[in-house]
Amino acid sequence: MEFSNLSDSLEKLPFIKTVAGPLDGDQWIERLKEEYTVLIQYIQANKDDDHDWFEIESNEDGTKWTGKCWYIHNFIKYEFDLQFEIPATYPSTPIEMELPELDGKTHKMYRGGKICLDIHFAPLWQKYQPKLGIAHALSAALGPWLAAEIPVLAEQGVVKPSS
């Protein structure tokens, strides 16, 4: 998995133009269209690389997202529910990705199953914001987190393969 260089994985995706959050009315819809466009590109690219690793959809106003993400370790697939909300201060502050099934199973996580990204991803978001979006967060935050944590949790037997 090519998660080694965060900046690299970010630069494969185009940036978001519209500076707007979910409380900004029509501007948010513009941003949401851009978010979706980048997501589609990202999903397509993953499929082309035979490296599909998540599935998501949003509610109508794009504020709540749910789906699944998975990680293959030693040819075994580990799959988890994924959910996140767009915070009121987005895009000034990053999205907090949640894997509720892993809540309490690793200390690299906050209450409610929010993955810990303070050291690795938050500074990156700060540097690039407001140009990063959901696809970037998946690619540079959740992806590397899974790559770092799942092998360890799998070895410890904390997570079980999905049937």
Partner 1 sequence: MSTEVRDDNPYSRLMALKRMGVVQNYENIRKFTVLIVGVGGIGSVVAEMLTRCGIGKLILYDYDRVELANMNRMFYLPTHEGLAKVEAAKISLININPDVEIETHNENICTIENYEKFNQRILNGSLTGGRVDLVLSCVDNYAARMTINKSCNNLNQLWFESGVSENAMSGHIQQLIPGELACFACAPPLVVANDGDENEIKRDGVCAASLPTTMGIIAGFLSQTVLKFLLQFGEVSPFLGYNAFSDFFPKYPLTPNPDCTDKKCKELQQYYNDHPEERRLKEEKKVEEKASAHDDNEWGISIEGGEDEQAPQQETFVEVKKEQSLADLMSSMKKLQTKQ
Q: Which residues of 73-112 are buried (b: 16+ CB within 10 A; e: fewer)?
A: beeeebbbebbbebeeebbeebbbbbbeebeeebeebeee
Q: Report CA torsion sign: 139, 102, 51, 55.
A: negative
Contacting residue, 1, 5, 92, 156, with partner 1 by CB under 8 A: 92
Asked if residue 98 binds partner 1 (CB under 8 A), the reply is no
Nearer to partner 1 by C-beta: 72 or 122? 122
Q: Kindly name the residue from 43, 116, 147, 154 that is annotated as catalytic.
A: 116
With CB under 8 A, what is the number of residues at the site for partner 1? 49
60 to 29, 32, 83, 102: CA distances (angstroms): 10, 10, 15, 27
Nearer to partner 1 by C-beta: 96 or 149? 96
Nearer to partner 1 by C-beta: 73 or 114? 114
Footprint of partner 1 (CB under 8 A): 11, 14-17, 22-23, 29-30, 32-34, 36-41, 43-44, 47, 55-58, 62-63, 85-89, 92-94, 96, 107-108, 110-111, 116, 118-119, 122-123, 126-127, 130-131
